Amino acid sequence: MIKEEKKVFKPNATTSLLVQSSLKTIRKKSDILDLGCGTGYVGLTIAKNTKIKNNYFFSDLSKKAIDLCKTNAKKNGIKIQAKTGNMFEPWADKRFDLIIESISAIAKKVATISPWYRNGIPCDCGEDGTDLVNEVLNVTKNHLKKNGKLIFPIVTLSNKQKILRTANKNFKNVKLLVSKDWPLPKSMYSKKNVLEKLKKKGVVSYKTKYGLILYSSEIYIAY
């Protein structure tokens, strides 16, 4: 059981896809970093669902998130190292076999009208949602061991193509692991004109079917 609190981002459907893809990737004992860990859901759920005795590391910009992550780890009997800090700052001299990035990546105007970023949860990833994830993609190789891998999500309520260009610039191989469509929360339909304008500008992408607005979560691996 993973405890949640206000002002700490709650796991969602994309988070579950991220966990599933990561579990399929881990073949041997690894040093694993959950970057932008929030409650710790990704790394802790992996730990609970694999027999491989990995070493687990967690970091987040929010001290509240790290405190909660430590509480959840203790509650589930999982040994971890967790540090507060921006991006890779807490791990300047550390290298990992697998980095799982779950930092926010959603267009600013979408975040404003969404139910995901309320109660003081920050979303400072820029007008097109690419600022933070692209910053991670530009420096991750410096924090991977030889043959290390990065797993990261793209939600199409951000500029997917811009993120993929950055990923392909920094990694020889970037592969889609899984993609799934989700219905937009009903509370956002009253602001669908905002989405339409962003789509016309190429900032976000989505499709409509049977009167529903569908966005996608995509999980990629890069190495």
Find the domain containing 110 and state its range: 13-222
- Among residues 158, 218, 215, the alpha carbon closest in space to that of 18 is found at 218
- Rounded Cα–Cα distance for residues 89 and 137 (Å): 15
Q: Is residue 179 part of a domain?
A: yes
- Among residues 62, 64, 59, the alpha carbon closest in space to that of 87 is found at 59
What CATH number corresponds to the domain at position 205? Answer: 3.40.50.150
Q: What φ, ψ does residue 163 adopt, rounded to 5°?
A: -65, -45
Q: Is residue 7 part of a domain?
A: no
- Among residues 155, 200, 161, the alpha carbon closest in space to that of 181 is found at 155
Q: Is residue 3 part of a domain?
A: no
Q: Is residue 163 part of a domain?
A: yes
pLDDT digits (tens, 9 = 90+) for 50-89: 999 999 999 999 999 999 999 999 999 999 999 999 999 9
Q: Is residue 6 part of a domain?
A: no
Q: Is residue 71 part of a domain?
A: yes
Looking at the structure of the chain, the number of domains it has is: 1
Q: Is residue 206 part of a domain?
A: yes
- The share of the chain scoring above pLDDT 70, in percent, equals 91
Residue 7 confidence class, pLDDT cut points 50, 70, 90: very low
- Global model pTM greater than 0.85: yes
Q: Is residue 123 part of a domain?
A: yes
- Among residues 6, 7, 51, 2, the alpha carbon closest in space to that of 34 is found at 2
